[in-house]
Amino acid sequence: MFESLKNLLKHFTGDQEKEAIAPATASQQPASTLHAIKKSSSLYHALGDFNLGIGTIGPANRNDIDQKVLVDMYQSVAAGEFNIPANGVVPEICVDGRTDKDGKRKNAPCAAGGTLSIVYGSDLGGTPANNDINEIQLTTRIINALKEKGHNTGVHGDDHSSCGCGACSKAPTIYQHITEHINDIASLISQFGINLTEVEKGAILNQAKNRLNQPGFFADDRATVVKTAQDCGAAYEELVGAHNELGIALNTKSGTTVDRSAIRAKYGPQYDMFVVDAWAFGTAAKDINNNGSDEYTQRIAKAITLQNVATASVLGHGSLSIIPVA
Ligand SMILES: [Zn+2]
């Protein structure tokens, strides 16, 4: 079912295929709106099933959505009804479900923070880095390396925040979240056929801790990271409005992304989805791995996956379902 993702992220240990296709069991959550939502959409795993989702974005915090419509949207997204061709083969734009003022997004592969996902993923999964480089220098290095390989790069802000990209504004919290919840995150991704070895887990955990302990690694003014990316040539999208994401589309159909405008056109402007084009992670990892070994390519691809899940968990509520598009 998730062969395309598995093929890109080779060398998994174990066989999670049976678990991967098993429907999520009924919610263990206490009776609540979350419970009602879980019952109606229990075909899908939610962040809360894995002790994840410390943020606010998600269906349980909404009173402007219809449960039947929500389930129909999940099923249509899962069926690939909104998949469209994507330009490019590495993550370029953010998973953010919003659009620009014209209701549009670029048709490009998505990851948390756009190109910044590759910056953080290569940092967390790459060879143990020296403490003489900071986030700004790393961003410059990665964007230049991607450009040399002929890839487009991109970041975004929004119309009302100094740093309107949650993956960027909360990057230190996301690293911290990885250190605190790596087992929960590993449990979630194993449901989708991606298995983190103990060696990989230890290396990523150490790197996250090192960065959190490295004075000045993270820029105090988060907007300067986005600005640096732009100065290096990354395209900029200005998104508008509030976060209305109701789920996470985990897209493993190579060469495609999910059309946010088409979802709104069918269901209404308050129906948005985060879009994670996981099929593009393997290529990004390969092209950014300066070590050259397959081992590190796999680790970087998995670290990008972790950074995406951790971002969703920091920004999103436990009621946020993960909808595989395979
Ligand atoms: Zn973003």
Q: In the structure, what pLDDT confidence band is assigned to residue 35 with cuts at 50, 70 and 90?
A: low
Give the pLDDT confidence score for residue 54 in this predicted structure.
98
Q: What is the per-residue pLDDT for 12?
A: 33
Does the structure show a pLDDT above 60 at 78? yes
pLDDT digits (tens, 9 = 90+) for 128-140: 867 889 999 999 9
Split at pLDDT 50, 70, 90, the class of 19 is very low
Residue 157 Cα to ligand 1 middle (Å): 7
CA of 139 to the centre of ligand 1 (A): 15
Contact 63, 261 (CB under 8 A): no
Q: How far is the CA of 28 from the centre of ligand 1 (A)?
A: 31
Q: What is the pLDDT of residues 260-281, one digit of tens each?
A: 999 999 999 999 999 999 999 9
Its pTM surpasses 0.85: yes
**CA separation for the pair 193, 205 (Å, rounded):** 21
Q: How far is the CA of 264 from the centre of ligand 1 (A)?
A: 19
pLDDT number for residue 39: 52
Mean pLDDT along residues 222-241: 98
13 Cα to the center of ligand 1, angstroms: 32
Q: Please tell me the distance between residue 227's alpha carbon and the centre of ligand 1 in angstroms.
A: 14
- How far, in whole angstroms, is CA 271 from its chain's centroid? 19
Helix (H) or strand (E) run with residue 50 in it:
none
3-state class of 257 per DSSP? strand
What's the mean pLDDT in 143-157?
A: 98
Measured in angstroms, how far is the CA atom of residue 261 from the centroid of ligand 1? 17
Spacing, Cα 25 to ligand 1 middle (Å): 31
Q: What percent of the chain stands above pLDDT 90?
A: 84
Given a contact cutoff of 8 angstroms between Cβ atoms, the answer to whether 211 and 218 are in contact is yes
Domain regions of the chain by residue span: 3-52+60-325
pLDDT tier for residue 8 given thresholds of 50, 70 and 90:
very low
Give me ligand 1 centre to Cα 238, in Å.
Answer: 10
The CA 47 to ligand 1 mean position distance, Å, reads 19
